Chain A
Amino acid sequence: QVQLQESGPGLVKSSQTLSLTCAVSGVSISSGGYSWSWIRQPPGKGLEWIGHMYYSGSTYYKPSLRGRVTTSIDTSKNQFSLKLSSVTAADTAVYYCARGTTHYFDFWGQGTPVTVSS
């Protein structure tokens, strides 16, 4: 069974960089055929796609976040990561990692809450 698990600091200071990691089990990221994605959900609000990457190295980011977002894959640890720079209170959210197919996300992590403090 495919499982994803997010990890990282739950509190980040304003203007600093948010860093999260998603550990994947049950499938090898390097096997290809899937995208590895980050999605967030501000408190009481809806889902917001951040971006995703493929094992090939291709990356796609939400246009409004482009320039602040960086994603990477570590095949030796079978995990992928998110870095979001210059964070503000608006970046406070539950952050999810997910596996994507061509059209949908079939497996999600449990989510990790991140609060940006001033």
Chain B
Amino acid sequence: SYELTQPPSVSVSPGQTASITCSGDKLGDKYVCWYQQKPGQSPVLVIHQDSQRPSGIPARFSGSNSGNTATLTISGTQAMDEADYYCQAWDSGTVVFGGGTKLTVL
């Protein structure tokens, strides 16, 4: 079955750029989206179709996808961005989530 791999944790200082990766076989051939989940809350879509931001998502969130790796980039990271982030893709009619990355802003 298809798998998406994320680093368990990423740390970033306030105001700096955070990059969270998601790896999978020929992932660049698929559309990837990203969700942000804060404790006790439902996931929120922050990037879809590799690099598209939904309405209401700050411009500091951006995404890319090429080869075997998709990347979520948060520029000028703020304390409010501290959360778990999950990548997601489709494979053969099924949905696959990455294991999630805990972003710590310190």
CA distance A106 to B88 in the complex (A): 12
Interface residues of B in 45-99 (CB under 8 A from A): 45, 48-49, 54, 84, 86, 88, 90, 93-99
Q: List residues of chain B with CB within 8 A of the CB of A46.
A: 84, 86, 97-100
* A47-B31 in contact given A108-B43, A110-B42 (Cβ < 8 Å): no
In the complex the two chains form, is B97's CB within 8 Å of A109's CB? no
Q: Is the interface of B mostly helix, strand, loop or mixed?
A: strand
Q: How large is the interface on A (under 10, 10 to 19, 20 to 34, 35 or more residues)?
A: 20 to 34
Nearest CB to that of A46 among chain B residues? B100
In the complex the two chains form, is B45's CB within 8 Å of A48's CB? no
Instruction: Please name 20 further chain A to chain B contacts, defined as beta carbons within 8 Å, in addition to the given A46-B98, A104-B31, A108-B44, sorted by A numbering.
Output: A46-B100, A47-B35, A47-B86, A47-B88, A49-B94, A49-B95, A49-B97, A60-B94, A96-B42, A100-B95, A101-B48, A103-B48, A103-B49, A104-B48, A104-B88, A105-B35, A105-B88, A106-B54, A108-B42, A110-B42
